Amino acid sequence: MHNKNFLLRLITANTIILFIVFGTFYSVFNFMDNKLKNILEQRQTISYFYNAINRVSSGLYQSSMLDNPDYLTSAAISSNEAVKLLDTLKKNGFDTRSLEENYNNFFRYTVITTTFGLEHRLEESRGANEMSQQQQQELLAQLETIRNEIDKEQNRIIATIESFMGISSILLIIVVMVNIRLLSRSFILIRTKESEQAEMINALGDGVYGVDENGNCIFINRSALSMLGFYEHEVLNKDQHHMFHHHKPDGNIYHAEECPIHLTLHDRRTRHVQETFIRKDGSMIPVSLTVAPLGSDKGIVVFQDITTMKEEYDKLDYNANYDYLTQLPNRRLFIILAEQKMAQAKRSNELLAIAFVDLDGFKNVNDFYGHEIGDMLLSAVAKRFKSVLRESDIIARFGGDEFVILLDTLKSESECEQTLARIIEEAVRPFLIADFSLQIGASIGYTIFPEDESNINFLIQHADNAMYDAKQAGKGTLRRFQL
Amino acid sequence: MQFVLFLFFIVVVPNVMGETKPLISLGATTIQPIIESVKSSYTHKTGLNIVTQGGGSDLGIKNLSEGKINIAMVVRDLTPDEKSRFDYAVIGYDGVAMIVHKSNPIKNLSKQQLIDIYRGKIKNWDTLGGSKKSIILISKQSNRGLLYLFEQGTGLFHPSNNANSNPAKKIASWAWDAGSNNDNIVWTGGLPNAISYISLGSALSNIANGMPIKLISLDGIMPSTKTILNGTYPMIGKLTMVYRKNDSDAKHFVEFLLSEEGQKAVRKNKFNGVRDAQ
């Protein structure tokens, strides 16, 4: 924007300067040229006048010499031309008064010279001829003076035109030099800015590259190259999609038409997406990328390697859903999974059971052997319980010594009771932990879905209540929730 | 130009000096062309050479009195003294024509305007409805017959004429004094702002030759055979040949001029013959 204004101002200033300089030069030149033409006309008129005088003279003397008055007519006509030429000079602003007087005298005495001759009066003719000669000399001298004046004027005008041309040339050179200086300064400024921008882009931790309208890479920064494992020359002017964006993480071919970078090149809209790039060595790199239009038909892509972030995220996700001690789903995940199973069971008209398990005697182990042993015991209990269950069943630890079990696709309540009875058996079987043989038990309350058609939280509550009843009835007991 | 003059002396001088006992006629340049046009035919007939020179009517009379020439050519009226001393014959009539340049828009002058122009009261053509140019005034030398005729016609006098001291009657001092008719004609034809008076015959001959001059009427009367012969044109001159009473050669030549052949030459030069008046 700044550059555009600068150029516009420069062009305007140049136009104005050139207009003023050459406009002035043109009008001065025209004025001088007209003056020069006028002078040349005057010069020509004078030269015609000179010729007319000669014709007057020769006509008259011919008449006298050949004793023939007929030549007088041609002399008179030549004299008319001479007088007309004097009028022309006068119209052109020349002061012809003395020239006119001189000419009249010249004509007067030359005619007398001739007519004396024609009268055969030679003495008088000779006398008149002297006068005539004198007048002619004066006239010619005057013409010479005028010619010299005209020459001087002509030279003066030519010198003026030349000096104007000189001044104009100098002005033009100055204008050109100022232009060069301003342009080169602005060029250097632009170059500096450009290289600074390039450095900035290179210095960015994010990967940055540009693509032309065909998706070919037009620039790429160091971060991008190091992330992707390419050299710059391997990527430049090549289709980036074919270089490091050709496959999806699942191994399927990633068609260019679906690529957000290509889409942005077409619709000129900025996109923020997570994609996977493929390194030169074939390994994958998850990236978060922003693609934005650049200029009128290009695009710029900024991306970050999100491998670490993704790992962190997954870890956080796991901790949020699993019990760190037993590696069993926690209450949160259990509820999500159980709801899915319930929906499925409802669709396929199947039964499922939610069982609440509370260990008997765990508190004593904890108090007697310490938390460390207690934790190890819980871990072992979880493993043993899991071994009893099918893959599709779910067991979660709800905290302390409480576990919740979802039994999937049950054919009957008895199948449920059998499984849960086995859980109790497994709980009762002594655990060998850190050379200690530990004896605990389990009390279980359960409820059957969809017979007990409540939401998952109520189902868990119901199972808990049933477990409480079982505990009341004596440890190691299995009890179904009663509506 | 000196060379031209040199040639002029070589060509012309022997012509004047070479022959023995020629018949010399001298005087008014008005009459000179008539003599020029008949002299070769006359010489052929009689074997007598004719030499003719200009110089004006007065110079003719003077030279005749001194015996230097045979015939004086005169356009003015002869004085009673001259009439008694010499024989003479009028061989034709002429008018004093006013001429201006062909390009001059003026066509007529009143007699008063003519007088005012020549005494210098009117100096510019625009006063008379012409262009804004000074009038170049052309008159005649004091010894010229046409001047006498002009003086008679206008009542003005040549500035050098001491007989008249009334300045209002003097021709302007800056007027150019012409000698021969050719002076008047070439000056007027050569200078578009000139005015002159001249023998009508000479004017008509020169107009016929293409000289850029034109006649202007005086008080509405144009000089012509008719206005000259019936006397309505104010300035009329007689072409008079004057010779000594006992000069038979001269008499014979004058008689020749009065003959049919001589009168033809008079008319050929645009003058009016003596018999035209009858």
Tell the burial category of B168 from Cβ atoms under 10 Å away from its Cβ (0-12, 13-18, 19+).
Answer: exposed
Query: Looking at residue A157, what is its pLDDT?
Result: 87
Packing angle, helices A362-369 and A371-388, rounded to 10: 140
- Flag whether pLDDT at B41 surpasses 80: yes
Taking the mean position of all CA atoms in its chain, how far away is CA A297?
9
Taking the mean position of all CA atoms in its chain, how far away is CA A128?
99
Most confident by average pLDDT, A187-196, B66-75, B263-272: B66-75
Which chain B positions have a beta carbon within 8 Å of A72's beta carbon? 182, 185-186, 189, 206, 211
Q: How far is B205 from chain A (nearest CA, A)?
A: 10
User: Which SS3 state, helix, strand or coil, does residue A179 take?
Assistant: helix
Location of structure tokens 């890479």: A217
Q: How far is A149 from chain B (nearest CA, A)?
A: 27
User: How many beta-carbon pairs under 8 angstroms link A with B?
Assistant: 121
Q: Is the ipTM, as predicted for this complex, more than 0.90?
A: no
Question: DSSP string spanning A235-253?
Answer: HTTSBHHHHH-SB-TTS-B
- Binary contact (A80, B189; C-beta < 8 A): yes
User: Mean of the pLDDT values across residues A276-298?
Assistant: 90
**Distance from C-alpha of B146 to C-alpha of B152, rounded to nearest angstrom:** 10
Nearest CA in chain B to A126: B5
What confidence tens digit (pLDDT) does each residue in A426-451 have?
Answer: 999 999 988 888 889 999 999 998 88
Q: How far is B161 from chain A (nearest CA, A)?
A: 22
Query: Looking at residue A63, what is its pLDDT?
Result: 85
B148 vs B258: which has the higher pLDDT: B258
Mutation choice for B interface testing from A53, A62, A65, A107 by most B CBs within 10 A: A65
- Flag whether pLDDT at B20 surpasses 90: no
Mutation choice for A interface testing from B5, B136, B196 by most A CBs within 10 A: B5
Query: Looking at residue B142, what is its pLDDT?
Result: 85
pTM summary value? 0.59
- Flag whether pLDDT at B18 surpasses 60: no
Query: Looking at residue A2, what is its pLDDT?
Result: 58
- Binary contact (A115, B13; C-beta < 8 A): no
Query: Looking at residue B276, what is its pLDDT?
Result: 66
- Binary contact (B187, A108; C-beta < 8 A): yes
User: Mean of the pLDDT values across residues B8-17?
Assistant: 46
Please answer whether residues A431 and A380 qualify as being in contact, where contact means their C-beta atoms are separated by less than 8 angstroms: yes
Mutation choice for B interface testing from A84, A85, A101, A118 by most B CBs within 10 A: A118
- Binary contact (B5, A129; C-beta < 8 A): yes
Query: What token pair was written down for B36?
Result: 């020029």
Please answer whether residues B136 and B194 qualify as being in contact, where contact means their C-beta atoms are separated by less than 8 angstroms: yes
Packing angle, helices B32-46 and B248-258, rounded to 10: 110
Q: How far is B51 from chain A (nearest CA, A)?
A: 10
Taking the mean position of all CA atoms in its chain, how far away is CA A144?
76
Query: Looking at residue B9, what is its pLDDT?
Result: 47
- Flag whether pLDDT at B17 surpasses 70: no
Which chain B positions have a beta carbon within 8 Å of A111's beta carbon? 182-183, 186-187, 190
- Flag whether pLDDT at B257 surpasses 90: yes
Question: DSSP string spanning B242-278?
Answer: EE-TT-HHHHHHHHHHHSHHHHHHHHHTTPEEGGGG-
Which chain A positions have a beta carbon within 8 Å of B179's beta carbon? 112, 115-116, 119, 124
- Flag whether pLDDT at B162 surpasses 80: no
User: Mean of the pLDDT values across residues A254-265?
Assistant: 87
- Flag whether pLDDT at B10 surpasses 60: no
- Binary contact (B210, A73; C-beta < 8 A): yes
User: Mean of the pLDDT values across residues A276-294?
Assistant: 90
Q: How far is A166 from chain B (nearest CA, A)?
A: 47
User: Mean of the pLDDT values across residues A150-154?
Assistant: 88
**Distance from C-alpha of A227 to C-alpha of A278, rounded to nearest angstrom:** 10
Q: Which of residues 190-229 of B touch A (CB under 8 A)?
A: 190-192, 206, 209-212
User: Mean of the pLDDT values across residues A200-209?
Assistant: 87
pLDDT-above-70 percentage for chain A: 99
**pLDDT category, A35, cuts 50, 70, 90?**
confident
The amino acid sitting at A104 is: N
Please answer whether residues B246 and B40 qualify as being in contact, where contact means their C-beta atoms are separated by less than 8 angstroms: no
* Residues in contact with A323: Cβ distance below 8 Å, sequence separation at least 6, in sequence order: A329, A330, A396, A397
Q: Which of residues 157-196 of B touch A (CB under 8 A)?
A: 176, 179-180, 182-183, 185-187, 189-192
Chain A residues within 8 Å of chain B (Cβ atoms): 56-58, 60-62, 64-67, 69-70, 72-73, 75-80, 83-84, 104, 107-108, 111-112, 114-122, 124-126, 129, 132-133, 136
**What's the mean per-residue pLDDT of chain B?**
87
Query: Looking at residue A403, what is its pLDDT?
Result: 93
- Flag whether pLDDT at B1 surpasses 70: no
Q: How far is A162 from chain B (nearest CA, A)?
A: 42
What confidence tens digit (pLDDT) does each residue in A322-366 have?
Answer: 888 888 999 989 999 999 999 888 888 888 999 999 999 888 888
What confidence tens digit (pLDDT) does each residue in B134-144 have?
Answer: 999 999 988 88
**Distance from C-alpha of A286 to C-alpha of A310, rounded to nearest angstrom:** 8
